[in-house]
Amino acid sequence: MARSESEHPTELELEILKVLWNESPLPVREIRSRLADQAGRELAHSSVVTMLGIMHRKGYVRRRKEGKAFLFTPKEKRELVTGRMMSDLVSKVFDGSPAALVLNLLESTDVDAGELAELRALIARKTKEQKS
């Protein structure tokens, strides 16, 4: 039985989107090369072409013909895609509580002093925004 399509990009789709969020538009050969360099994923040219076709159909990427090649760009910004994924995670795993997600993250991972300072600054800014 066929799997239903996810409302979020798959792991490989995300790797391709990360390449395109960093630099685009890119042809298939450059996407393939960057996947190997950045993500350590050695894929056949035909596999990348197939994935990009699927991603185009799903609305994750745009393509335009330039000469004999297609150039690909992400259709949505990173923040929109990751925001939807995080909202879904908070809803499904943490019963809608962003605080529970952050607490779990802080307890289950190593956070360095710089990252903690960034988190404090963000919390202070959000607190100030809510008071305004």
Predicted pLDDT at 1: 45
pTM for this entry: 0.81
Q: Give the helix/strand (H/E) hosting 104.
A: helix 98-108
**What is the domain partition of the chain in residue ranges?**
1-93, 96-132
Q: What pLDDT, on a 0 to 100 scale, did the predictor assign at position 3?
A: 46
Closest C-alpha to 76, from 13, 3, 5, 6: 13
Confidence at residue 32, expressed as pLDDT on a 0 to 100 scale: 96
Q: What letters, b where the CB count within 10 A reaches 16 and e where it falls short, cover 25-62?
A: bbbbebbbebbeeebebebeeeebeebbeebeeeebbb
Strands 61-66 and 26-27: unpaired
Predicted pLDDT of residue 6:
66
Pick the CATH number of 1-93 from 3.30.930.10, 1.10.10.10, 3.40.50.150, 3.30.70.20: 1.10.10.10
Spans in the chain with pLDDT lower than 70: 1-6
Q: What pLDDT score does 7 carry?
A: 80
What is the reported pLDDT for 5?
A: 60
List C-alpha distances in Å: 132 to 98, 99, 128, 129: 21, 21, 6, 5
